[in-house]
Amino acid sequence: MAIKLNRLNRKDYYQAIYKSIQDNRRDDFRDLFLKLHEKDQVAVFHKLYPEKKNKIVDLLQASEFAELFEHLDYKGRRQAIEDLPADYMTEVFTYVADDEVTAFIHELPQADRQHVLESMRPSDRETIETILEHDFETAGAIMTTEVLTVYAQDSADQVITGIRQAASAVETIYYVYVVDEARHLLGVLSLRELLRAPGDCPVQDIMNSQLVQADIGMDQEEVARIIKEYDLLALPVVDGQGKLVGIVTVDDVMDVMDIETTEDFHRFAGISGSPDNESDRESIFETVKNRLPWIIILIFLGLVSANLINMFEATLSRVVILAVFMPIIMDSAGNVGTQSLAVSVRRLTLGDNTESFWVLVWKELISGIIIGLAAGITICGVAYFLFGNPVLSFIIGISLAATLSVSTVIGYLVPTLFSKIHIDPAVASGPFITTITDATGLLIYFSLATYLMHLL
C-alpha cells in the first residue's frame, strides 16, 4: 500500500526525512526523499541547516541534485553554489538543463557570471556560452540544446531503444526529431506515434514532415503563442540554415507567459522595464527608474488640461461651482477610456481577428453612447438635487454624455492605431489614455458652459 501524501501526513513524512539525515541512514533518506516531486524536495532542502545541506553531497548523486537545482529559485541557486563543494557543483551543472543554467546565469550580476562559467566543464561552458549569445527573450535564449535526434532510416524499435537509454539525459523524450547528417531538421515524431507504429517501420514513414518550428531569433511571446495554438509539448528551434539547434518546452513557455503577462500589466499601468524572474527583488532605485519617467512625461502632457482650464478662466471665475464637477467629468472619462483600452490591448495581444476593426469601433461607439447617456442622466439628477440649478445640471449631464461617448472610442482606437503604425500598443497605457480623455472632457465641459453662460 502506497503512502499517500496529503496535508495531514506531509509534516510527518518530512520529519522522517530529517530524522534519517540526522541518523546518517543514507538508504532510508534516499528512499523517502527521491519519492518526492522536485518541488517538494526543494521545500525539504530549504529547511536544512547549512551544515546539514553539506551532507547532500554524500546523500544525493550529482544527477539527482541537478533535478532539485532546476526547481530552486535564483536565491536558492546562489546559496547552493556557495554552500556546496565546487567539484560537486561542477558535476551537477553537467546534468542541469541548458535553459535553466542560462536563465540562472542571465540573472547573475555581470561580475559573477564569469566565475560560475569557469566552474563548469569546458564542454558545458561552451554550450552555455553559445546560448548566452542569443538575444534576450528569443527562442535561442530560452531553448535547451539537449534533444533526441534520429535519422530517417532508423526503425521504430531502434528509436525506442535509443529513447530508453537517453531518457535521463534529455529534456523531453516525448518528441524525437529526425535530422540528416548535417542536422537539417526533416521531421518530428511523437513518442505516441512511435509506440503505435510497427517495430520495423522506418521513422521516415511515420514522421510528420509538415514542420512547425521556430527561428532562433523568434520572440519568446511568439514561441509561446505557437506552442499554445498547436498544443505542443515542445517546439524545435532551427538556425538560418534550417539546422536543429534546440527545443523550447511547454513548461518554460508557461513561465514565459507569466513574465509577459506581468510585463503587459505593468505597461498598462505605465511602468517601463521588464520584470525579472521571481528572483531578484526590484530595488527602490529600479522601482523609481521604471515609474518616474512616465509620471514626468504625463505631467507635461497634463499641461494641456491645465492650459485648457486657464483658457476658460473667465468662465470659471464667474461660475466657480463649475469646478465642483471637474473631478467627475475627468474621472469618468478616464474610466471608460481605460475600460475600452483594456479590451483593445488584450484583443491585440491575443491576436484576435474574428471581427473587422470598424465593426468593433462601431460597437464601442454605440456602447459608449449608451453608457454616456446613462451616466449623463444620473449626474444631471444628482447635480439638480445638490444645487437645484437646472441649467448647470443640464450642462453637466450633456457634457458627461458626450465625453464618455468620445472617450470610449479614444480608448479603443489609440492602441489599434499605434499597432497599425508599428508602435507597441502597450505604450497606450491607462495613464496615457486618461490624460487624453481628461483634456477632451474638460474641453467639452467648459465649451458648453461658456456657450450657455448667459443662462447660468
User: Interaction with a copy of itself in 398-437: which residues (CB under 8 A)?
Assistant: 404, 430-431, 434-435
Look up residue 202 and give its DSSP letter.
Answer: B
Q: Which of 38, 45, 47, 88 is nearest to 67 (CA)?
A: 38
Q: Does 378 bind a copy of itself (CB under 8 A)?
A: yes
Count residues binding a copy of itself (CB under 8 A): 126
Of the candidate residues 20, 102, 220, 305, the single one contacting a copy of itself (CB under 8 A): 305
- Residues paired with 144 in a beta bridge: 247
Q: Quick one: 49 or 385, whose CB is closer to a copy of itself?
A: 385
For 373, phi and psi rounded to 5 degrees?
A: -60, -45
**Radius of gyration, CA atoms only, the chain:** 30
x/- map, 36-75, a copy of itself, by CB under 8 A: xx-xx------------------------------x-x-x
Of the candidate residues 324, 417, 423, 455, the single one contacting a copy of itself (CB under 8 A): 324
Q: Does 320 bind a copy of itself (CB under 8 A)?
A: yes
In angstroms, give the least distance from the CB of 360 to a copy of itself.
Answer: 9
255 three-class SS: helix
For 189, phi and psi rounded to 5 degrees?
A: -145, 125
Core vs surface per residue 95-130: b (16+ CB within 10 A) or e: bbbbbbbbbbbbbbeeeebeebbeebeeebbebbee
User: Interaction with a copy of itself in 208-247: which residues (CB under 8 A)?
Assistant: 208-212, 227-231, 233, 242
Q: Quick one: 57 or 166, whose CB is closer to a copy of itself?
A: 166
Core vs surface per residue 288-322: b (16+ CB within 10 A) or e: eebbeebeeebeebeeebeebbeebeebbeebeeb
User: Interaction with a copy of itself in 351-370: which residues (CB under 8 A)?
Assistant: 352, 354-355, 363-364, 366-367, 370
In angstroms, give the least distance from the CB of 332 to a copy of itself.
Answer: 6
Q: Quick one: 111 or 195, whose CB is closer to a copy of itself?
A: 195
CB atoms within 10 A of CB 51: 8
In angstroms, give the least distance from the CB of 5 to a copy of itself.
Answer: 4
Of the candidate residues 24, 112, 292, 455, the single one contacting a copy of itself (CB under 8 A): 292
Q: Does 302 bind a copy of itself (CB under 8 A)?
A: yes
Q: Does 205 bind a copy of itself (CB under 8 A)?
A: no
What is the secondary structure of 107-134 as a DSSP string?
HS-HHHHHHHHHTS-HHHHHHHHHHHTS
User: Interaction with a copy of itself in 258-287: which residues (CB under 8 A)?
Assistant: 258, 261-262, 264-266, 268-271, 278, 281, 284, 287
Q: Quick one: 7 or 123, whose CB is closer to a copy of itself?
A: 7
In angstroms, give the least distance from the CB of 281 to a copy of itself.
Answer: 6
Look up residue 101 and give its three cell numbers. 543554467
Q: Quick one: 140 or 431, whose CB is closer to a copy of itself?
A: 431
Q: Quick one: 120 or 402, whose CB is closer to a copy of itself?
A: 402
User: Interaction with a copy of itself in 129-188: which residues (CB under 8 A)?
Assistant: 152, 160, 163-164, 167-168, 173-174, 178, 186-187
Residues in Cβ contact with 7 at an 8 Å cutoff, skipping those fewer than 6 apart: none
CB 401 within 8 A of CB 376: yes
Going from the C-alpha of 179 to that of each of 21, 146, 241, the distances in angstroms are 47, 14, 13
In angstroms, give the least distance from the CB of 119 to a copy of itself.
Answer: 26
Q: Note the residue count of the chain.
A: 456
First-to-last alpha carbon distance for the chain, in angstroms, is 86
